[in-house]
Chains A and B, each alone.
Chain A
């Protein structure tokens, strides 16, 4: 087999041979290209250059984080096949994925249509949680939210609480999502492996021992050229599903669907399936994101204990009446 660097000369030789050239395949002045061929080549080159420039103007921004919003009347190009790569931002803007009062599609607001299908254990666990938002909210001084103090929010809370600008990277083996919120990342395996069979004792198999994870175990596949579906299980049950204290157990199974509707838009749907806490699966988030420029730099949003301590001392504790007489 020819090495890659040998192939091009071989192809050149073959082309020249097919065109009737019988000699040394080096460029020679006496091989005149027909004028029409030259004109066509120039025209094609011009079209290519112009379209590349148009696309560059469309997406190029100065380095940094200048958000690209939807524009009236725009007609995005068709979606590329089997490709989620890029920086994605909630289409309504940088705070469009903030779900303060609970999972965006089912906020904890007391409306009957947002009542979750709790099992008895699910309701009991929910009532034992003391979130700072939603129908069961308490002042922050009284919360038992497991996240404050820079503890892991885990998955799926990262997307059910605060889905912010995220970068998706695809490799032959996985889809990697880098989240701005708390600067976290996840790997969704696409190498054909199966989800851990036992969600309560999860492992990818020998020799790895079972280990529940804050971010679970995730596998995914393309169900058509524009729809990627991931499933996750094997979660540490110390996290909450959302900011309103919705519970999950170690039997949690999460289904994520990413549908690329055109080049610039990605629709994300997250479905919660946890038979210990809920009598049936429910859709927690449906969010449309917009592709940002390749130069987009996701800002740092890191939870630093040293800063949190200062914030609590100077602001949060006195606000909650926990200080010693400010």
Chain B
């Protein structure tokens, strides 16, 4: 249990590092970079493409209404380096998503983390993957 907590803290710290601004294509100006929103959702589309992959999912807001979210990841080569595949998600998958939301309050953001149905957690593919331990 304690190990799990340590792992979660380490994971949060790792996310902080890997989501530092290395987004090469599209600027950061639209995003509320210091903010994170975490929610459970159902995948409606997983689009694997350049310049960036994106995920569409439905989640419930505080009032129980269904909200349709769109969240972008990085480009396919970087996503692969961060553990993703084209088939990582399919329509109907139940996931937990953490996004960096846009400033204009729309249900749009950048992927900070996704907990897959398998329980595996992947980041948004931004930043360098860690070098293997030596």
Name A's B-contacting residues (CB within 8 A).
65, 67, 69-72, 92-96, 98-101, 131-133, 137-140, 143, 148, 161-162, 164, 180, 243, 299-304, 307-308, 310-311, 314-316, 318-321, 326
Q: Which residues of chain A are near B84, meaning CB under 8 Å? A: none
Q: Which residues of chain B are near A65, meaning CB under 8 Å? A: 77, 80
Contact indicator B54/A98 (Cβ below 8 Å): no
The answer to whether A318 and B27 touch (CB under 8 A), given A94-B128, A299-B77, A310-B49, is no
Q: CA–CA, A294 to B54, complex, Å? A: 33
Q: CA–CA, A204 to B28, complex, Å? A: 42
Q: CA–CA, A162 to B23, complex, Å? A: 10
Cβ of B124 within 8 Å of any chain A Cβ, yes or no, is no
Stretch in contact with the other chain, from B1-9, B34-42, B68-76, B115-123? B68-76
Most buried by A among B27, B47, B76, B81: B27
Q: Which residues of chain B are near A98, meaning CB under 8 Å? A: 22, 24
Classify the secondary structure of A's interface with B.
loop
Contact indicator B49/A311 (Cβ below 8 Å): yes
Q: Which of A71, A310, A318 contacts B134 (CB 8 A)?
A: A71
The answer to whether A94 and B24 touch (CB under 8 A), given A140-B29, A303-B50, is no
Q: Which residues of chain A are near B106, meaning CB under 8 Å? A: 318-319, 321, 326
Q: Which residues of chain A are near B27, meaning CB under 8 Å? A: 131-133, 137-140, 143
Contact indicator A320/B50 (Cβ below 8 Å): no
Nearest CB on B from A99, distance (A): 8
- Which of under 10, 10 to 19, 20 to 34, or 35 or more describes the interface residues of B? 35 or more
Contact indicator A301/B75 (Cβ below 8 Å): yes
Cβ of B89 within 8 Å of any chain A Cβ, yes or no, is no
Q: Which of A72, A99, A301 contacts B50 (CB 8 A)?
A: A301
Contact indicator B52/A311 (Cβ below 8 Å): yes
Cβ of B104 within 8 Å of any chain A Cβ, yes or no, is yes
Contact indicator B26/A140 (Cβ below 8 Å): yes
Contact indicator B75/A314 (Cβ below 8 Å): no
What residue in chain A is nearest B81 (Cβ atoms)? A94
Q: CA–CA, A139 to B32, complex, Å? A: 12
Nearest CB on A from B83, distance (A): 13
Q: Which residues of chain A are near B128, meaning CB under 8 Å? A: 92-96
Q: Which of A101, A162, A299 contacts B76 (CB 8 A)?
A: A299
What residue in chain A is nearest B102 (Cβ atoms)? A319
Contact indicator B50/A139 (Cβ below 8 Å): no
What residue in chain A is nearest B108 (Cβ atoms)? A319
Q: Which residues of chain A are near B131, meaning CB under 8 Å? A: 69-70, 93
Cβ of B92 within 8 Å of any chain A Cβ, yes or no, is no
Contact indicator B70/A315 (Cβ below 8 Å): yes
Contact indicator B47/A132 (Cβ below 8 Å): no
